[in-house]
């Protein structure tokens, strides 16, 4: 029993001594090389110079699509071989503020001044079109342009007024049709029938009228005027974005007249009011505008309030029946057994010879 305890105690003493010896050796090695970091925190080896001269240039840190704006963090400075630096590379990131990419810029490519574009400048109209929309031209005047109040960036609704008419389904022509009436006389010997025209009538129809003499079988009725169309007004294209007011390329002004010291001076020409705008609409709505314009439908623009471009609404179409129903108009009004007598005009007194001023 005592012998076992002694063996255990001897083992503990030997283990403790071995640990102390190992700790002393390691501590002595660290003192021999003071300030040496451990392998886990060794700094990364520095790249050895290759001998090629470089300079800092602004490059794209991420792909930049055509038409995209330059945002913070999209550009950065990188070393670039001096001999390969393009001559028109930008010198400062501030040059990209308020500009857009005129072309697709690949990640890591130096940013050149030729890659920058100003929104709205000639030749860069496609950069203003929102994704998923197309740009179309829309003719305007003082009435259809909200008295020339619309400006680039506004949103407008396109109103349309159509005149509908009745068509003959076979001829695909506007009613009424023209009718030719004939009488037929049959020869009793040959049995051949001879037709004699009675006349041509537009939209005529034969009706038997009550109270006519027996010798008159009826009457031929014809319209007194061409067919009147019925009108329909509706909002067709909602929230179209105004990209530009006026043409994208202005006509070159005429050369100024050469006047001498005493020569006449011409008045400054008054700028012409715009007659066209560019709208960004859905592709299907572009076809709607084309159809309406080619069918000579009347169109106007309605200016939306700022910030309401995403408000969805579709008002009801306005027709004559809508106007009569909504405003409670009796059609036709009842005929009354009385009326108003117009007031006779007041005679204007004529000057008499005595009242004329003396010469």
Distance CA 283, CA 132 (A): 8
Distance CA 335, CA 317 (A): 31
pLDDT of residue 181: 72
Before 141, cis peptide (omega within 30)? no
Angstrom distances, CA of residue 34 to CA of 37, 42, 43, 329: 9, 15, 17, 105
pTM, rounded to two decimals: 0.61
Closest CA to 300 of 135, 152, 134, 141: 141
Residues 6+ apart with CB under 8 A from 90: 58, 96, 111, 112, 113, 116
Distance CA 309, CA 239 (A): 6
pLDDT of residue 17: 63
Residues 6+ apart with CB under 8 A from 74: 60, 61, 62, 64
Distance CA 280, CA 299 (A): 16
Q: Return per-residue pLDDT of the chain as tens, 359 residues.
A: 555 566 666 666 666 666 666 666 566 655 545 444 444 444 545 555 567 899 999 999 999 887 788 888 889 999 999 888 988 999 898 888 888 888 889 999 999 988 888 765 656 788 888 889 999 999 999 999 999 999 999 999 999 999 999 999 999 999 888 877 777 777 777 778 777 776 776 777 767 667 666 666 667 777 888 889 999 999 999 999 999 999 988 766 666 665 555 555 666 677 789 999 999 999 999 999 999 999 999 999 999 999 998 898 899 999 999 999 999 988 787 888 998 888 888 887 777 666 556 55
Closest CA to 304 of 231, 353, 241: 241
pLDDT of residue 35: 47
Give residue limits of the domains in the chain. 54-118, 134-164+229-249+273-326, 166-211+218-228
Closest CA to 314 of 135, 158, 131: 158
pLDDT of residue 137: 97
Q: At 313, list the tokens.
A: 């609404």
Q: In terms of DSSP bridges, do strands 116-118 and 230-245 run parallel, antiparallel, or are they unpaired?
A: unpaired
Is the domain covering 54-118 a CATH 3.90.1210.10 domain?
yes
Q: At 2, list the tokens.
A: 């005592």
Distance CA 273, CA 279 (A): 18
């Amino acid at each position: 029993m005592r012998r076992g305890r002694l063996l255990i105690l001897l083992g503990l003493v030997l283990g403790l001594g071995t640990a102390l010896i190992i700790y002393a050796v390691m501590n002595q090695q660290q003192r021999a090389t003071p300030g040496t970091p451990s392998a886990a925190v060794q700094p990364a080896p520095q790249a050895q110079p290759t001998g090629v001269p470089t300079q800092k240039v602004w490059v794209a840190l991420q792909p930049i699509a055509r038409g995209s704006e330059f945002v913070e963090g999209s550009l950065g400075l990188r070393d670039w071989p001096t001999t390969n630096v393009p001559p028109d590379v930008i010198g400062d990131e501030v040059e990209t503020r308020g500009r857009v990419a005129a072309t697709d810029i690949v990640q890591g490519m130096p940013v050149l001044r030729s890659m920058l574009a100003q929104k709205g400048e000639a030749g860069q109209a496609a950069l203003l079109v929102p994704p998923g929309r197309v740009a179309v031209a829309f003719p305007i005047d003082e009435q259809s342009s909200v008295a020339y109040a619309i400006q680039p960036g506004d949103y407008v609704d396109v109103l349309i007024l159509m005149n509908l008419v009745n068509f003959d389904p076979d001829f695909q022509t506007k009613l009424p049709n023209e009718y030719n009436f004939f009488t037929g006389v049959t020869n009793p010997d040959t049995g051949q029938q001879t037709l004699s025209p009675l006349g041509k009538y537009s939209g005529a129809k034969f009706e038997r009228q009550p109270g006519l003499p027996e010798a008159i079988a009826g009457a031929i009725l014809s319209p007194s005027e061409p067919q009147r169309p019925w009108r329909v007004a509706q909002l067709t294209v909602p929230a179209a974005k105004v990209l530009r007011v006026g043409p994208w390329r202005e006509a070159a002004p005429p050369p100024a007249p050469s006047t001498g010291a005493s020569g006449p001076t011409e008045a400054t020409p008054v700028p012409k009011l715009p007659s066209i705008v560019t709208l960004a609409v859905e592709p299907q709505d572009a076809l709607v505008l084309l159809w309406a314009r080619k069918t000579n439908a009347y169109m106007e623009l309605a200016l939306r309030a700022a910030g309401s471009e995403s408000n969805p609404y579709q008002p009801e179409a306005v027709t004559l029946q809508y106007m009569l129903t909504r405003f409670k108009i009796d059609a036709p009004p009842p005929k009354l057994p009385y009326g108003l007598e117009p007031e006779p005009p007041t005679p204007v007194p004529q000057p008499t010879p005595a009242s004329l001023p003396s010469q």
